[in-house]
Amino acid sequence: MTGIEATGEFVTGALMAGAIERTSGERHEHSEAHALCLNCGTALVGDYCHRCGQPEHIHRSLSAIWHDLAHGVFHFEGQVWNTLPMLVWRPGDLTRRFIHGERARFVSPMALFLFSVFLMFALFSAIGAHFEVPENKPPTEAAQAIARAQMPRAKAELARLIAARAAATTPEAKEALTQKIEKAREDINGLNEITVWKPGRDTNLKTGWPRLDAGLRHANENPNLTLYKIQSSAYKYSWALIPLSVPFLWLLYAWRPQYKLYDHAVFVTYSLSFMSLMVIVLTLLGTVGVSSNVIAPAAMIIPPLHIYRQLRGAYGTRPFRAILRTIALIVFCGMTLLAFLAMLLALGVLG
């Protein structure tokens, strides 16, 4: 993906996220007064209709298209700068304040999640981060001829090593010869792969489900297409991580009736947004040459620390209990990712 395409993804993500954000109510001093809302006909008492929310002032010019584009991106961006510092340093306070009603000041969790996912996949596409299976090319005729010529010598050497091991009198000698025999067998298997080349990749897995067997066969014949489908599904169905995660968090506070499923969903969605943004930052650091000795520990330490701080602030959990719940959530996160990967694999094979 080119830089223009990546920018397009960024703008699309901002517009999509901004589209589900409620406006915080900008005044339009130059607006024309309308006695009735042009959308629903309700009598107006301010800049916005109190029934449907449409602004009293409407645009009707070609420049309005660009105004809406800029407003959608930069109005959302303004809320982002109110939200990001708290998401990074005080995620629990952000979660609690949003749940308790402070909505206009902050980006909603779903909008931020959509924006971060768009941005993350745009970055991956821009830097060419995707998975591919190496192409299974046939060996050349010259390579096959060399392998056939070496095969008798390799088999003779294997037979000699087996006979020598049988005649060995000490355990040390037998062990050394056993290791050489294993190496000789590996060499013979490698020569066999060259002399008896088979296109594709062998799979004898039969499930008894015709559709699944057909999908596995197609995946074996074209693994890169299957990987492409899986990566596309990860982009399209990333939202599924939210309903997969919420039940696990509910289990940790099931005996606390003051916390509703909505509260847990806000917690999970903000947490996933942070993790996506963290992946973006660490990926960018990797592309500019920061050592993996720095990136890998950060990727291991930051997520549990962030979860701990969010639990402490959002639920008022005491330190020791927050540590225990953090450990439990990390285990649950692994289970959630396994379920999500299983879903992606099924979509890639059966889709």
* Degrees, nearest 5: CA angle 336-341-342: 95
Which string of DSSP letters, residue by residue, matches 111-124? Answer: HHHHHHHHHHHHHH
* Degrees, nearest 5: CA angle 310-316-320: 85
**β-strand partners of 43:** 36
Residue 64 pLDDT exceeds 80:
no
Strands (E) across 29-136 are located at none
- Where along the chain do its domains lie? 67-132+219-350, 141-195
Region at 126 (left for phi over 0; alpha for psi -120 to 50; beta for the rest):
alpha
Residue 27 pLDDT exceeds 50:
no
Can you give the pLDDT at residue 77?
Answer: 60
Closest CA to 73 of 7, 18, 8: 18
Residues 317-346 have pLDDT tens digits of 999 999 999 999 999 999 999 999 888 887
Residues 123-136 have pLDDT tens digits of 887 876 665 555 55
Residues 217-263 have pLDDT tens digits of 666 666 666 777 777 778 788 888 999 999 999 999 999 889 999 99
Residues 70-82 have pLDDT tens digits of 555 545 566 778 8
Can you tell me which residue has the tokens 């719940």? Answer: 325
Can you give the pLDDT at residue 337?
Answer: 92
What are the angstrom distances between the C-alpha of 207 and each of 203, 223, 346?
A: 12, 19, 14
Q: For residues 277 and 284, what is the distance between their CA atoms, to the nearest angstrom?
A: 11
